[in-house]
Amino acid sequence: MDNKQSLTYWKSKAESNPTIKASKVSDRNDFSDYDRDFILKYTTKNTTILDLAAGTGITLNKYYDKVKHITAVEKFSQFSDFIVKAPKVTVINSDIVDFIPDSTYDVILMFGVTHYFNKEESAFLYKKYKKFLNNNGKMIIKHQFGVKEDVTVEGYSEELKCNYYSQYRQIDSEVELLKSLGFTAVDYTDIYPKECNRWENTHFYAIVASL
């Protein structure tokens, strides 16, 4: 899989005395208040959520008490140790490629996830987890996307000082990919203020894909 370099990067972060902000590439990328507010637009007190690659729960911990239940799937236990301990939250340490849910959900979250996978791998994940959405359920995907074209970062990163992989696919092409997999309504939102977008060729969007 193309995301092996990314997994090595995150494994290193997990094993390096992490803080709750460790699941962000940089402290400047902590937009968890915006993420919380966006998620709550699509939830009620009766909503069940599957949070894939939940990280340290930096966002989850801010809204878990406003929904019915959250299943948080996170590969690295060093990250998930920061997730709030509460009856409404179930933490499962697993790779999302391998994890098989035992129930269905109203909302499935992939925040900062699928840009670490190439297009084919992302399609696999979208198709796999679509089967675990309830009727009228929504899959919400948020990360950076290419503005005019796909932008792939592969190899040594000067900023991160390590090998790294991310594929920021062009936003309209990602929308079409989701539609081709059977989502009937796919919309995207400019989720953050302008100053949160550091690069000219990529932009943060949140995609809401509905059944």
* Residue partners of 163: CB distance under 8 A and separation at least 6: 5, 8, 9, 155, 156, 157
C-alpha 133 chain-centroid distance: 16
**pLDDT beyond 90 at 7:** no
- What are the pLDDT digits (tens) for 110-162? 999 999 999 999 999 999 999 999 999 999 999 999 999 999 987 666 665 66
CA distance 99 to 90: 14
- What are the pLDDT digits (tens) for 166-176? 899 999 999 99
The stretch 39-53 carries a mean pLDDT of 98
pLDDT confidence bin for 1, thresholds 50/70/90:
very low
**pLDDT beyond 80 at 22:** no
Which position has the token pair 């699941």?
A: 23
pLDDT confidence bin for 43, thresholds 50/70/90:
very high
Res 165: pLDDT: 80
C-alpha 83 chain-centroid distance: 16
CA distance 135 to 149: 33
CA distance 37 to 198: 22
Question: Would you say domain 4-210 falls under CATH 3.60.15.10?
Answer: no
Percentage of residues of the chain with pLDDT beyond 70: 88
Q: Which helix (H) or strand (E) holds 125?
A: helix 119-130
Instruction: Annotate 181-198 with b (16+ C-beta within 10 A) or e (fewer).
Output: eebeebebeebbeeeeee
Greatest Cα pair distance in the chain: 45
145 forms beta bridges with 203
